[in-house]
Structures are given as structure tokens and as C-alpha cells.
Amino acid sequence: PPSERASLRQLLRSRVAEAGLGSLWAGAGPTVARACLLNAGQLGIYSEAKEQMTTLGFSGIPLMFCSSLVASVAAVGLSCPADVIKSRVQNSSGASAVAVVKEAIQFEGPLALWRGMGPSVLKLAPHTVVSMIVLEKLSAIFLGVESM
């Protein structure tokens, strides 16, 4: 029942008392790394894929669609290890990112860092396709230029 639920203030106080103030930022480093890698993959690879696919005869919406799909797979491939590390650090009781990586590789092999890549691509691909096509179209309408 709602009356028995702890408030946000109570939860924060409890967490700080139990694990310290720094525990509120557990996994912040891998989270930032993941965001950087994801965006670099989306934006950088999209531009390059678009350029390469243009030489293959693609143009218009099919060019943007295919380039976005390539960018989605690349972005997830780049960011998935940081995402796995982030999740495991946040779910651990104070383990460092380095310790999490060592343990994952030792007990599960290096591919453990890409666990969940398939669902992540399925989640990111529609977002990337829509975002890039909208970006291209709005850039053409309002700026009169190709965005990428």
C-alpha cells in the first residue's frame, strides 16, 4: 500500500547511511563512457555509412534508413561493453569497473561484455532511423543543407 512505501528522502538517507554518499554515483563513469560511445557510433558511423552507401547508388529515404541501421548496430557494438559494466557496477556491492570486467571475462569469456546486444539494437534502431531521417529533413527545410 502507498502508506507503507518509503519516500525518496527516506530511500536516499538509507542508501547514504548504508553505503556512503559516493554510492549515489555508482556506475557514473561507465554511464558517461557508454553515452559517449553510443553517440559517437550513431553520428560518426551514420555519416560514413551514408557516404559509402551513396557510392553504391542509394539515395533519399532508403539511403537514410540503411545508414541509420548500420549506425545503430555500430553504436550498440561500441557501447554495449560500457553498458554491461555500468549495470554490473550498479548492481554490485561496491565493486570497481575494473573488477567487474576482470570477473566477467574470467568466468564468462570476453563476449560477456556484449551480452544483450541483440535487444539493444532492436531498441536503438527505430530511434536512430526516425531521429536521423527527421534531422535530415528538418535540416533541408530550415537550413537548406544536408545535415550529414
**CA gap 127, 121 in Å, rounded:** 10
pTM as predicted: 0.79
Predicted confidence (pLDDT) at residue 10 exceeds the cutoff of 80: yes
Q: What is the pLDDT of residue 4?
A: 82
All cell numbers assigned to 113? 561484455
Percent of the chain with pLDDT strictly greater than 70: 98
Task: Name the residue with higher pLDDT: 146 or 145.
Answer: 145
- For residues 64 and 133, the answer to whether their CB atoms sit within 8 Å is yes
Pick the most confident of 8-17, 26-35, 64-73. 64-73
